[in-house]
Structure 1
Amino acid sequence: MLERIREGSSGITAKVILGLVIATFVFAGVGTYNNNVDTSVAIVNGDKISQQQFDNAYQNQRNRMQQQYGEMFDQLAGNELYMQNLRTNVLEQQINELLLDQHAAKLNIRVSDEQIKQAILTTPEFQIDGKFDNNRYLMVINQAGFYQATAFRDYLRVDMTRRQLINSIMASEFSLPYQQDIAVKLANQTRDINYATISAEQFKASVDVSEDEVNEYYQANLARFATPEQIKLEYVHLDINALKADVTLAENAVNDYYQDNIDSYSTVERRRASHILIEFADDEAAAKQQAEDILAKIQAGEDFAALAKQHSADTFSGDNGGDLDWFEKGSMDPNFDEAVFALTLDNNLSSVVKTDFGFHIIKLTDLEAVTTQEFAEVKAEITELLKQEQALETFYALQGELAEVAFESPDSLDEAASVVNAEIKQSPWLTRGAAMAPFNAEVISAAFSDDVLLDNLNSEVIEVATDESAMVVRVLEHKPSATQPLTQVSEMIKTQLVSTKAAEQAKQAADSLLAKLVAGEDVSATQFVAVADVPRVGGTIDGNVTKQAFLLAHPTEGVVSAGVAALNNGDYSVVQVTKVTAGVAAETDANLGEQQVMSASQATFEGYIEDLKAQAEITRNLPSNSPQF
């Protein structure tokens, strides 16, 4: 929703730079603490970013990532270093945005009320059948966390002002034809090459690795052989799907719900109409008389559509013969609504109708009557809905009982399992940084907490998936982090050292071959593969060989252009460039100019932000133990 509004006030490059959270719509600046304790996580030129603002922004980012990555996000969330970096990045984004807001204010950049109004009116999420609907607008922004329309308008004002500044910074970049031509020639350039690969495998049989070398490697890399701390849990799992399977509905419950909510299964009457609008202008009486005259012409048989094109002040509909398309009752001005819904297809022309916009002549052109789905069509849907509602009600009740019993009997899950009629299950071995369903990041965090791990108490009730399942856990077994003994890993180390030494010998052989090639010595004993027209991207040979080929200088007479490429498997390739063919302009990508502008604009914007930071007084106070959610 908000992204569509932004599209109206920013170019493509700006949208790349300022990607705000769309999934939740909650403005990170809503709400402050009402106490005297300074809880700010950063101060930028005297303006504070509160803990609550940060928490909101951080939760928004988590929500967006959770929607994007699904269950994979649980694994990311279980990595403390990753989440700490995420929190740092969120704070830096807030600092960047505050710097932009401050500079926009300094430059006196403003967004008018009319600009905000037009942004709202043209947002598809606020429209029904292509037309703005106020009730839908209020519903959507309420769901987004804006309980007052003024709060949403304030949010838009800040965001649109910020984007005006960004556009002014980035719009200065451009791409000239000669720059595009150079880029095309480089992008589409091909090279003819010869290459020979020295396999590391051939040296492994002759490699010797001593016990001292194995031990030395082991001692120098003890961290690599550490097993992570692990726990095995026992847990009581409360799952709404299991509860739903046990729900039995009363005999007439489904039919009763259908009858009580019949409107939900019925379409709303829609009408299609055309109108001619005469605005009041400076003389309301004259406007009314003009409308009466036009009505008389229509009643006398003149074409309504032609008169609409000629006279209607609503030029958008006027160009279409006055057509307003389909709409529901309540979508128009009350007087207009009353008039159009009083018409019939037989009596389809209104008298002159006055609204706040002027005088209207309305013609009903079509209507769609109310239709209702048959009970049989929606029975299964209603059954599922009622079972879900009952299961959810039971779930919340049992969740409360589970929390109470788990707290009152903290040394065992027996009573907790009994009260919710569930069995006590056991988890596989779990680590701090490897969440797996249903043991998400919240479960892992609780399981490794001091209360659960050290004091051996039951956890609190943990939501595994919102409104779907919850669990209480306790530690059954615990394995501290430990270093694997050398006896367990010596063979693995020996294999690694053999591969390393073999790769070193392969490199020495490749370097020797390169020296001979550059010196013009005979290398015919080595088999080189010739490949013509190797592209910069997307060729069929090893990417490391291609990369080396395009790093080499153009070949010149008497000078061999060659180098060595390290391959991912430990092999080495000697690469020689024999010919370079420039790309031609006809092969240019139609979007290349735009891509160049985008790249330059992004670099300009990043430099601008860094310049603002260099001139600003910034204090960061983000604690390492800030809420992790």
Structure 2
Amino acid sequence: MFFDKLRAGAQSTVSKVILGLIILSFALAGVGSYVTQPKAEVAAVVNGEDISAQALENAYRNERARLESQLGPQFSALLSDPLYVEQLRRSVLEQLIEQRLVDQKVAELGLYASDNQVRDAIRALPEFQVDGQFSNERYQQLLSRSGISADQLRDNIRQDLSRQLLLTSLVDSSFALTAETDLLDKLSRQQRDAEWVRIPLSDFAAQVTLSEEQVKAYYDANLARFQRPEQVKINYLLLDTHSQAAEKVSDQAIEEEYQANLKSYQQPAERQVAHIMINKGKDGKAKIDAIAAKLAAGESFAELAKTESDDAFSGEQGGDLGWIEQDTLDPAFDQAAFALTAVGEVSPVVETNDGFHLISLLAQKDGQTKPFSEVRDAIATRLAKEQAASAFYEQEQRLAELAFEFPDSLDMAAQELGLKVISTDFFSAEDAPLLLKDPKVITHAFSAELREQGMNSEVIELGDNKAVVIHVVEQRPAAPLEFADVESQAREQATALKTAELAEQAAAELVSVWSKGEQGPWLSAHQLSITELSTITRESEQDPALISALFAMPAPKADAASVQQVTLNDGGLAVVKLNKVTTPTDSSELQTQIQAGQSAIQGQREYQSLILALKSSAKIKYGEVAASPDDF
């Protein structure tokens, strides 16, 4: 896949090389479809054009990687649901279909990104930049290591840019009416004057006294609130190589490892070269021969690269490709470059897949081997990890065998491997011990198979050289808790419910009397006071629920007050009376921003409308692989 090739080519220094190629649009589709040869299987056929099963696979892998990076362990849990995986694959396929429809529309309209646009887009990709500047050396190395030619890359970028032209034309042609944005501008700056009264729940809680019979009645009516979840009690063995004394790696082993892998510690020879490239064609060979003759006549290599080379990127730098290592470029180019021995020497004409080249040596560095003292600690650390991993693997295999051979107990496995059987008390899936909170452990612990058959689980890997085998000792099904055990909890809930009912009654009474202008006596009787809210805006620092309700209330009229009960964000109650609404009559500088925002929203709507229209008129046939998620 294109993505994997570029990532591998960049080695450890670049992990997201190709992401720059998809920042323009449709990242979901991935770039695997750019270069992967289609197979016979198809995921869908869109207006006669195939979307290959491999293209779907590449896009699905890319989306999985993105979601895993974004959601972490939560995504791993989602993947255990076959229905979710199927829906994810279907969503990915729909995105690929939409992309193909847009590409077909782009071709129909004859939209085409210019050479300058393509060139600027490539130079702007961060994967090809060093210290914020485009590096031709980096550009050549990554393309070579990925197996992608410069022409392929340009075609891919041109396709993305051409597609973006269509999307941009939709957004740029969208607009919002001045009258609409003017109204939104004024509404956004609207101010409201109001009064409000908080209804303190504590005042009503003191009025609530419940008998045991009332609390029991609440318990009986709300048994679902007092459920004890399913619980299990288990024994388990923990295999953890990190808890065991690490075997020291001998000096002899470290030395032998160094000698056996000297090539791994060698800094390869490098050459700084420049080239002049001419694309292949009917007169390509003649052009490069003519340039070779000019060089032989004494003309400047750098000047000819600037004026004659078809590689515009390096041509601007006099053909300089920067430093290259052996075996990183096209074999023919690589061989010719490293055959040069004197600075200023120029190679004969070299033919590669990209074209014809003349190569000049600018500088060279000899290969070096890192001394043993410099890499000793790193080798020792790696060998220690390998030893620990090897010991863990052997013990894990034996643990699996013993747990299977003696399925009704963990004692034999513990005895042979020198492990301790650890017993837990009853726990639910929500309050499992920290070590056992792994989703895989929870799934096994509460599985009907282990419970009913009384068998040991398989070895469950926890990562980082840790694994467990569990044995369910006892299970308690979910059941209502006894009233005596939860009486205080039930009383608290029943009291809170009754308190809320009394507060709701009081709030309704206040709304009624305040609407009539008769709130004074009621407030005095309840020892409550009114708080003024003056020139409140949508951004005022008040309870968000209060602000939301206040700006949703109708403006007061001469014969109808605007009064409303509000539930605050902290769960409390309040009654609000809106007195005045002040809407600005002049426009502000915000109108321009609002208009831009509304235009963008409209552009998104029009894009979705385009997609729906293209789909409705398209002939789309789904292949069998579209509905068959594979297990990775």
Please, what TM-score do these two structures have when normalized by structure 1? Answer: 0.73
Q: Which residue of 2 aligns with 1:529?
A: 531
In structure 1, what is the Cα distance between the partners aligned to 2:303 and 2:56? Answer: 59
User: What is the identity, as a one-letter code, of the residue corresponding to 2:444?
Assistant: A
Task: Go from structure 1 to structure 2 and tell me whether the alpha carbon gap of 1:161 and 1:70 turns closer, same or farther (over 3 Å shift).
Answer: same
Q: Deviations over 1:456-498 (max 9, x none)?
A: 1111111222x62222110123222111122222332222222
* Contact 2:46 2:101 (C-alpha < 8 Å) held by counterparts: no
CA displacement at 1:231 relative to structure 2 = 0.8
Matched, 1:315 2:312: yes
In structure 2, what is the Cα distance between the partners aligned to 1:608 and 1:279? Answer: 40
In the alignment, structure 1 segments of 5+ residues that lack a partner are 35-40, 142-148
In structure 1, what is the Cα distance between the partners aligned to 2:459 and 2:396? Answer: 7
Return the match for 2:140 from 117, 131, 135.
131
User: What is the identity, as a one-letter code, of the residue corresponding to 1:410?
Assistant: P
Matched, 1:401 2:404: no
Q: Deviations over 1:96-136 (max 9, x none)?
A: 34764786799797999xx9x99999987799833353674
Q: Which residue of 2 aligns with 1:547?
A: 548
Task: Go from structure 1 to structure 2 and tell me whether the alpha carbon gap of 1:479 and 1:53 turns closer, same or farther (over 3 Å shift).
Answer: farther
CA displacement at 1:566 relative to structure 2 = 0.6
Which range moves more in the overlay, 193-202 or 595-604? 595-604
In structure 1, what is the Cα distance between the partners aligned to 2:308 and 2:56? Answer: 55
User: What is the identity, as a one-letter code, of the residue corresponding to 1:515?
Assistant: S
Task: Go from structure 1 to structure 2 and tell me whether the alpha carbon gap of 1:456 and 1:287 turns closer, same or farther (over 3 Å shift).
Answer: closer
In structure 2, what is the Cα distance between the partners aligned to 1:219 and 1:53? Answer: 58
Matched positions, count = 584
Q: Counting helix residues as a fraction of each chain, which structure ranks higher?
A: 2
Matched, 1:284 2:282: no
User: What is the identity, as a one-letter code, of the residue corresponding to 1:133?
Assistant: L
CA displacement at 1:377 relative to structure 2 = 3.5
Map 1:69-108 to 2 at 5 A: 69-70=71-72, 83=81, 86-87=84-85, 89-90=87-88, 93-94=91-92, 96-97=94-95, 100=98
Q: Which residue of 2 aligns with 1:484?
A: 481
Return the match for 2:384 from 384, 387, 405.
387
* Contact 2:174 2:599 (C-alpha < 8 Å) held by counterparts: yes
Map 1:256-295 to 2 at 5 A: 256-277=256-277, 282=283, 284-285=285-286, 287-295=288-296
Matched, 1:498 2:499: no
* Contact 1:170 1:604 (C-alpha < 8 Å) held by counterparts: yes
Task: Go from structure 1 to structure 2 and tell me whether the alpha carbon gap of 1:372 and 1:181 turns closer, same or farther (over 3 Å shift).
Answer: farther
Return the match for 1:453 from 451, 454, 457.
451
In structure 1, what is the Cα distance between the partners aligned to 2:484 and 2:462? Answer: 41
Task: Go from structure 1 to structure 2 and tell me whether the alpha carbon gap of 1:461 and 1:542 turns closer, same or farther (over 3 Å shift).
Answer: same
In structure 2, what is the Cα distance between the partners aligned to 1:93 and 1:597? Answer: 28
Map 1:5-84 to 2 at 5 A: 5=18, 8=21, 11=24, 19=28, 67-70=69-72, 83=81
CA displacement at 1:408 relative to structure 2 = 0.8
CA RMSD of aligned residues (A): 5.4
Map 1:24-423 to 2 at 5 A: 67-70=69-72, 83=81, 86-87=84-85, 89-90=87-88, 93-94=91-92, 96-97=94-95, 100=98, 129-133=138-142, 136-137=145-146, 167=167, 174-176=174-176, 178=178, 182-187=183-188, 189-242=190-243, 245-277=245-277, 282=283, 284-285=285-286, 287-298=288-299, 304-343=301-340, 347-351=342-346, 353-356=348-351, 357-360=355-358, 362-364=360-362, 366-423=363-420
Secondary structure of the structure 2 residue equivalent to 1:350 = coil
* Contact 2:237 2:421 (C-alpha < 8 Å) held by counterparts: yes
Secondary structure of the structure 2 residue equivalent to 1:129 = helix
- % same residue: 30
CA displacement at 1:385 relative to structure 2 = 0.8
Q: Which residue of 2 aligns with 1:38?
A: none
In structure 1, what is the Cα distance between the partners aligned to 2:227 and 2:308? Answer: 84
CA displacement at 1:294 relative to structure 2 = 3.9
User: What is the identity, as a one-letter code, of the residue corresponding to 1:540?
Assistant: E
In structure 1, what is the Cα distance between the partners aligned to 2:303 and 2:296? Answer: 13
Q: Deviations over 1:407-439 (max 9, x none)?
A: 111111111123332221234543346664344
Q: Which residue of 2 aligns with 1:565?
A: 566
Task: Go from structure 1 to structure 2 and tell me whether the alpha carbon gap of 1:482 and 1:54 turns closer, same or farther (over 3 Å shift).
Answer: farther
User: What is the identity, as a one-letter code, of the residue corresponding to 1:355?
Assistant: V
* Contact 1:276 1:311 (C-alpha < 8 Å) held by counterparts: yes
Task: Go from structure 1 to structure 2 and tell me whether the alpha carbon gap of 1:409 and 1:554 turns closer, same or farther (over 3 Å shift).
Answer: same
Task: Go from structure 1 to structure 2 and tell me whether the alpha carbon gap of 1:312 and 1:628 turns closer, same or farther (over 3 Å shift).
Answer: closer
* Contact 1:439 1:464 (C-alpha < 8 Å) held by counterparts: no
In the alignment, structure 2 segments of 5+ residues that lack a partner are 4-15, 130-136
Task: Go from structure 1 to structure 2 and tell me whether the alpha carbon gap of 1:597 and 1:371 turns closer, same or farther (over 3 Å shift).
Answer: farther
Secondary structure of the structure 2 residue equivalent to 1:327 = strand
Q: Deviations over 1:355-402 (max 9, x none)?
A: 2323425251x4455455443343222212111112212222222211
Task: Go from structure 1 to structure 2 and tell me whether the alpha carbon gap of 1:406 and 1:463 turns closer, same or farther (over 3 Å shift).
Answer: same
Please, what TM-score do these two structures have when normalized by structure 2? Answer: 0.73
* Contact 1:291 1:352 (C-alpha < 8 Å) held by counterparts: no
Task: Go from structure 1 to structure 2 and tell me whether the alpha carbon gap of 1:69 and 1:123 turns closer, same or farther (over 3 Å shift).
Answer: same
In structure 2, what is the Cα distance between the partners aligned to 1:512 and 1:107? Answer: 63
